[in-house]
Each structure stands twice: as structure tokens, then as C-alpha cells.
Amino acid sequence: MISADFIRGYVDLLVLESLLDQPSYGYAISKRIEELSRGQYEMKETTLYSAVRRLEKTGAVTSFQGTHSQGRARTYYRLTEFGRRFYDEKCEEWRQTVALVGRFVRDPH
């Protein structure tokens, strides 16, 4: 299990990734993150909502009312162009972080 503290700076990246291919709604995003985490990380609902709301305010995602397969109304979130660029920036930031920290990580002897 990876601690929530460690992931904190990358919650936005996880959420944006779930929206890359198609618009999605709250629980579906949550499930997507759960699947890719393979039990190593669990995002709380409040963390997810807080991230989505923040991304909406900065213009990275837009929301619209839609109905999913079982006919229930859901708030869907769609990635904007700015959101895509923001995702790319976050990925680049992550690669640099990995490279940076990697320089300090020695193989065990």
C-alpha cells in the first residue's frame, strides 16, 4: 500500500488519466483509479471530488449532465485542451522527479 501522503501531489494526474479516452463520472473515475492501483492505493471519495472540483475551477475539465448505461443521471467530466496539456506537464514533472530521486537511490548490496 502506497501512502496517500506520497500520492498527494499526483492525485490530479491520476484523475486526468481516467478522462484521457472519454468523459467519465465520479464512481467510474474512482473505479478506474482503483483498477490501475491494483490494491496499492485507495483514493477516498472526498479526495477525488476535491481534485475534480479543483480541476474544473482551473479549466482542466468541464462538467455536463449525462446518463450512463443504466439510465441514471450523472455529472460527467470531460478533459479540455488545457487539461490535456496540464496532464502532459504533470507526466513530465513526474519523470523528472523519478530521475532526480533515482540519482539518490543506490542498489542494495
Partner 1 sequence: MDAITTYVDHIFRSLPPTAEVARARSELLQMSEDRYRELLAEGVSEHEAVGRVITQFGNLDELADDLGIRSELDRAGRPDAPIDLSHGEAERYLAVRRRGAWLVSGGVLVILLGIAQLVLFSDGAGSDPHPLSLVAFFVAIAGAVAGFIVAGASMSRYDRLKDKELRLEPQVAAAYREQREREQTSFVVKIAAGVAVIILSVAIPATLDTMYPDSEPVTNLAVAAMLVAIGLAVALLIEAGLRRGALDRLTAEGDYAPEKRASNSLTGRIAGPYWIVAAAVFLAWSFIGNAWDRSWLVWPVAGVLFAAVAVGIESFTPKERSDGGR
Residues near 72 by Cβ (< 8 Å), separated by ≥ 6?
none
Among the listed residues 90, 81, 47, 46, the one whose alpha carbon sits nearest the alpha carbon of residue 62: 81
Q: What residues pair up with 74 in beta bridges, in sequence order?
A: 66
Whether the Cβ atoms of residue 50 and residue 15 lie closer than 8 Å to each other: no
Per 3-state DSSP, what percentage of the chain is helix, strand, and coil (rounded to 5)? Answer: 60, 15, 30
**Which span (13-21, 40-48, 87-95, 98-106) binds partner 1, by CB under 8 A?**
40-48
Looking at the chain, how many residues does it have? 109
Whether the Cβ atoms of residue 56 and residue 108 lie closer than 8 Å to each other: no
Asked if 3 touches partner 1 (CB under 8 A), the answer is no
Asked if 53 touches partner 1 (CB under 8 A), the answer is yes
Asked if 44 touches partner 1 (CB under 8 A), the answer is yes
Q: Which is nearer to partner 1, 38 or 57 (CB)?
A: 57
Asked if 45 touches partner 1 (CB under 8 A), the answer is yes
**Beta carbon of residue 4, minimum distance to partner 1 (angstroms, whole number):** 9
**Beta carbon of residue 106, minimum distance to partner 1 (angstroms, whole number):** 36
Total residues contacting partner 1 (rule CB under 8 A)? 18
Query: Using CB under 8 A as the criterion, which residues of the chain lie in contact with partner 1 when the complex forms?
Result: 25-27, 30-31, 42, 44-50, 53-54, 57, 74-75
